[in-house]
Every structure is written in C-alpha cells, then in structure tokens.
Structure 1
Amino acid sequence: MELTTADCVSRTPVPLVLRSYLDELVHRTRAVCGPHLVSVLAVGSLALGDYRHGRSDVDVTVVVDDALPHRSLPELARKLAHPALHCPAAGLELVVYPRAFAARPSDAAGYLMDLNTGPSLPERVSYDAGESPAFWYVLDRSIAHQAGLPLYGRPVRDVIAAPRRAAVLTALRASVREHAQGEGHAADNRVLNGCRSVVYCRTGHWFAKRRAALIVAASEADFRPLLTEALRSFELPRESALALPGAAVREFLAWVAGRVDQALEAEGGHGTSL
C-alpha cells in the first residue's frame, strides 16, 4: 500500500507548515525515480515528534531499488535543492539508499546520495559514501527504523534494518567526540544530542532531544543548570542560539562519553570501527 503525506496527517506529527513542502518533495522524487522508488520516509526530529520551526532541519530518507540509473541522482539533487524547491525549514538533509543495503544491518554510510540544502545549511551533495563519516548514517538509520514516518511507499520496517546495538553505541561515541570538538555545531544542540545519547544507552530507544534533556536533568542535578539553559536556547531560532559556558559544555560531554563507553563495555567489547 502506498502512502502520501496526506494519508499520514491524522496519525503523525508532521507540522502543517511542512505538509505541502513534503508533498512536493515526494512528487518530484517520484517523477525522477519512477518505478525504482521504494519509499520516502521522514526521520530525525519529524519522526520523533519534536520538529521546531526555525530551528530544526527536515530529515528525509529515500530508498530506491538497485536498478535506479545513477544519472538520476544529480537530476534528483537539482529538483530538490533550495531554492528550486523552497525549503521552509532551516534546511533539508536528504539521504538516498539502495534497497539491498538499507535492508540489512550495517555500520557503513552506504548512501547513493547525500544532499544538504536550505536557507541555513551549507549547500552540499555527495554521491560517494566514502567521503563522509559513517556514524551519522548509522544513527539516522537507527532512528528511522524505530520511528520513521512513511510519506510514500513501503513501511519503514520493510526497508530500513536496525543497526546492531554495538554499531549504534560506537557511532554515538564518534558523534560525542565530534560534538566535543564543537566545530559547526551550536552549543545547545551539542548538549541536547548528548542527552539523547545517554538516554539511548540507558533504554535502547530514541527520544526527542528536549524530552531526553528533561530525563537527564531529573537524575543528574549537577548538570541541571546547563541543561535548563540549553533547553531555553533551543526554543530560539538557530541564528539566535545562546552562548553556553564552554567549560560546562565540555565537562558534560566528557561525562556523556563516559556513559557511552560504559554501555559499550557492557555490550561486551569496544564496538565496531566507523
């Protein structure tokens, strides 16, 4: 059974401000990929029910069959790039996977195309999965498997396999390391991603960043002032994010890294190489 955005409105948290945009994105993707299109899925903050207009990106996963001509990918990028398709969100992060790859657990990046575009995102398109750190894609597929919203085509569990827990924990360790360096990431997002990492280690499930921060704040009084300030900043547009105290952010992320390492040890090893 094929689904459109309109079919999902009554049972998903897709915001009204994005529905016509996502419908047009699906329409253009179907026009380019034709019968080779398997699924279009909303992932990220949309899937977790915590999209913040003016702050969040729109994250989309596209799955195509392995017979899709590779010449279709640059055409798809042109059709979906802002402003050819005006993105009402901070940006669009869209990843295209071949069906055979997406259907099995993997710790690789594995994409056919990775497109970043939009008003607040540096324009980028990659057709070589070897160009990108694999950990972001492992985390995205893990979130997609748990909570992805079908916009078109096959249901998420039919097309996206859950990466193994050890691979997810290894990916979390790499993401925390990158957030600790701080380059290219707002401080509030680094802190809230850290909260989400800790809650995943505890529960094996993905929570929206704000909910994860409240969970961690409830149990970790020493970090409560920083988490409260990060949540206050996250309510603001991306360009108006608050400056958080650097030493406190670094201390928190070092604590997060320790929790991820403990989870990896409990898993019976040091995970996989990403």
Structure 2
Amino acid sequence: MTRTLVDPYSVPDELRPYLQEVVHRTHALYGSHLVSVIAVGSVALGDYRHGRSDVDVTVVVDGALPGRARPGRVLPELAAALAHPALPCPATGLELVVYDRDFAARPSGEAGYLLDINTGPLLPERASLDPSQSPAFWYVIDRSVARQAGRVLYGRPAREVIAEPARADVLRALRASVREHSAGEGHLADNRVLNGCRSVQFCRTGRWQAKRRAAEAVAAAEERFRPLLHAALHSYERPSRTAATTLPANDVQGFLAWVAERVDESVDADRSG
C-alpha cells in the first residue's frame, strides 16, 4: 500500500497531501489491480488556480477481479472513501473518473466509465456507475488530455494505458462542449469563453493548451474578440469563483458562435481531406 506520488513535485503544493491520500485510499481498495492514477485537467496542463480550479483525476483499474473485489462492488466503497468532507478537498472540487483498463486502452467516443465522482466544497455531490447518465463529450476530452499531458500520480504512464480518441470523436466532443457552454447553465461566463479558446486552439494545433495560454493566443490573432478575452482572463485570475466578474452576455454568445464555426470548419476539413 502506498502513500507516495510518483513525482510529488509535478503537482501544486496545495494539492500534494490530498492527492497522496487519494492514491492511498484508491490503492487500499484495489491493491495490485490499480493500474494508474493520473492527474488531468488544469493540473496536467500546468494551469491549476487554487481557489478557482477543480482537481481532475483519471483512475485505470484491472476489471478482471475475483469475487468481492469486482469493480462493481469496490466502486461504491471508493466513492465513500473519497467523499468530501470525510476526505476534505482543498480545491473547489474533485472530479474523478474510473475506467477499466481494456476500455481505456482502445480509442472510443463513448463515456465508458465505471465510476464518475464529483465531490468537494463547491461541487454538487455525484457518484454515477452508469455512463449512459452523462454526456460523453466530457470524458472524451479528458481522455485526450490525459493521453497528451496526463501527470502520473501512481502506476503506469498515461500514454501506456489511455488511447487517444479518434480526432473525429474529439471534434464531435468539442462541438458538444461548445453547445453546453453556449447554453450557459451552471458555467461561469469567463470559463465558457476560455473553454472556447481551448477548443479553437485544439482545432488549429491538434494539441491541448492551458485555458489562459489558449485565450492569449486567440486574442493575439483575433482583434475583434480581444476586449472580451482580456476581460475573461482578468475575471479568471481573480482569487475565487465567487469573485468572477460578469461578462456581456451577447458578446459571450457571439464568441461561442464563432468558436462553433471554427470547430465545424475543422470537421469539414477532415472529411474532405
């Protein structure tokens, strides 16, 4: 049983003891059947903002477990072991997804998880064992980020255990993400804008960038959106979600419509190519 991260200095200081405990509690339940624990999201992309960011974790397990140790029996125990405040989350929340190693090892446009946990001081509590309950695009994007930039906390490296989703599936996921953020429900305006910038930069480069870096790149290239993007960056850099500033709703919608067009152009270019 381990409490040691593969590389403790690859994660922010504020998260290090917490992530060590996440690994420890996950390993306590899965033992040798725990394949990998991988930081994704803002931690992986080097843009974690304490007080603002969630901590996103992908877990890969060996599903061929005997008896009581089958994932379906262990998963509720894992959700309980990691629930805030029993394990206090220092970030705004923990978003942790568990995959079977066979599913994770093949490209897929599906959600495909065994367990999806949301817990923490600013996240509604959620523990889902049914991937049909969730839009697939979140998980496709996270697996693509994990494959490209995931920071291994325990076990095998992300590139050895997580397959890169097909580009067509990633673009489809981006389009669904833009629709979700255009609707706006449950999302801060600055985050909606910055996620749009990250989508544009993926279409242009095929690589995932931190939200702030993506926004700076789009602002440099697209003068008409520069005031909105600078306002979104200023809001995102405030110390907490509750301190986020209001952005002009029409400007946000107009920008996201432009983002959707860029994603659709990438889809069309791939089809014609």
The TM-score bracket by the shorter chain reads: over 0.9
Listed one character per residue, the Cα deviations across residues 193-223 of structure 1 (whole Å, up to 9, x for unaligned) are 0000000000000000000000000000000
Tell me by how many angstroms 1:9 deviates.
3.4
Q: Which residue of 1 aligns with 2:241?
A: 238
Distance 1:191 1:32 in 2: 39
Q: Which residue of structure 1 aligns with residue 147 of structure 2?
A: 145
The residue aligned with 2:40 is 43
Q: Secondary structure at the match of 1:33?
A: helix
CA contact (8 A) 2:25 2:82 kept: yes
Amino acid corresponding to residue 124 of structure 1 in structure 2: R
Q: Determine the C-alpha separation between the residues in 1 that align with 2:147 and 2:117.
A: 20
Distance 1:122 1:9 in 2: 28
Asked if the contact 2:108–2:140 (Cα under 8 Å) also holds between the matched residues in 1, the reply is yes
Give TM-score, length-normalised by structure 1. 0.95
CA distance, structure 2, for counterparts of residue 64 and residue 239 of structure 1: 36
Of 21, 40, 43 in structure 1, the residue corresponding to residue 18 of structure 2 is 21
Q: Which residue of 2 aligns with 1:248?
A: 251
Query: 1:127-166, aligned counterparts within 5 Å?
Result: 127-166=129-168
Trace 1:46-61 onto structure 2 (pairs within 5 A): 46-61=43-58
Question: What is the CA-CA distance between 1:142 and the residue it aligns to?
Answer: 0.3
**Equivalent of 2:223, from 202, 221, 224?**
221
Other structure's SS at 1:218 match: helix
Q: What's the counterpart of residue 120 of structure 2?
A: 118
The 2-side partners of 1:214 and 1:159 are apart by 32
Structure 1 residue aligned with 2:87: 85
Seen in structure 2, the aligned counterparts of structure 1 residues 101 and 3 have a Cα distance that, compared at 3 Å, is: farther
Q: Number of matched residues?
A: 265
Deviation at 1:4, TM superposition (A): 3.9
2:27 corresponds to: 30
Over residues 204-257 of structure 1, what are the superposed CA-to-partner deviations in whole Å (9 max), with x where a residue is unaligned? Answer: 000000000000000000000000000000012111111100000000000000
Contiguous gaps of at least 5 residues in structure 2: none
* Counterpart residue number, 1:265: 268
**2:3·2:20 contact (CA, 8 Å) conserved in 1?**
no
Q: Is contact 2:201-2:214 (8 Å) kept?
A: yes
Distance between the aligned counterparts of 1:29 and 1:260, measured in 2?
Answer: 37
Q: Is the 8 A contact 1:105 1:163 kept in 2?
A: yes
Task: Return the alpha-carbon distance in structure 1 between the equivalents of residues 47 and 208 of structure 2.
Answer: 12
Taking structure 1 as reference, are residues 3 and 220 closer, same or farther at Cα in structure 2, changes over 3 Å only?
A: farther
> Would you say the 8 A contact 1:77–1:115 is kept in 2?
yes
Q: Distance in 2 between matches of 1:143 and 1:97?
A: 15
Distance 1:233 1:32 in 2: 40
Name the aligned partner's letter for residue 229 of structure 1.
A
Q: 2:189 aligns with which of 174, 184, 187?
A: 187
**Aligned match of 1:272:** none
Once the two structures are TM-superposed, the CA of residue 34 in structure 1 deviates from its matched residue by 1.6
Q: Could you list the runs of 5+ residues in structure 1 that have no partner in the other structure? A: 270-274
User: Separation in 2 of the partners of 1:222 and 1:79?
Assistant: 48
C-alpha distance in 1, partners of 2:16/2:135? Answer: 31
Residue 8 of structure 2 corresponds to: 9
Cα displacement (A) at 1:155: 0.8
Secondary structure of the residue aligned to 1:71 is: helix
Normalised by the length of structure 2, the TM-score is 0.95
Q: CA RMSD in A?
A: 1.2
1:64 matches 2:61: yes
One-letter amino acid matched to 1:254 = A
**1:63 and 1:98 in contact (8 A); partners too:** yes
Asked whether the 8 Å contact 1:63–1:97 carries over to 2, the reply is yes
Moved over 3 A (4+): none
